[in-house]
Amino acid sequence: MTIVIDCNIFVMCLTSASPYHFIYQSLVKGKINLAITADILLEYEEVLQQKYSVAAAHSFITLLNELPNVSYINPHYHWQLITADPDDNKYCDCAIAGQADYIVTEDRHFDALKNIPFPALTTIGIDRFLEMLRSGS
């Protein structure tokens, strides 16, 4: 399964005390494939520096660069599917170019994708994604 993970999901699952830490562990263990772009990586770094620390953000980015199940995608087309928060479009473009099964997010701006028949993108919330991982779906 290939996924694109919105930054807010990593904020929720990085610490070992989080009920969502299993998502992070699944990524590290290679149970899921992550598609990212340079822009997504920069957002991860910026937000994680603010929420945790520069050192924690650097360690996470270094890990992503070393994991064999993380693919760097270079979208050649920008779809501009989300108008409420255009910055979220980088996740959509990555998902399309990387042929991701899901965009994992809790951001309601992605609800706009439900009304767009093409290109078809499927979003999933953190709770449902965690259930899928735990059940092996």
Q: What is the pLDDT of residues 24-45, one digit of tens each?
A: 999 999 999 999 999 999 999 9
Q: Return all residues near 9 (Cβ < 8 A) that are at least 6 apart.
A: 20, 23, 104, 105, 106, 126, 129
Whether cis (ω within 30° of 0) applies to the bond prior to 75 is no
User: How confident is the model at residue 127, as a pLDDT?
Assistant: 97
Give me the residue spans of the domains in the chain.
Answer: 2-135
Instruction: Report CA-CA distances (Å) from 129 to 54, 55, 56, 92.
Output: 28, 28, 24, 18
Note the pTM of the prediction, 2 decimals.
0.93
At 41-61, the pLDDT tens digits run: 999 999 999 999 999 999 999
- Which CATH superfamily includes the segment(s) 2-135? 5'-nuclease (3.40.50.1010)
The mean predicted confidence, pLDDT, of the chain is 94
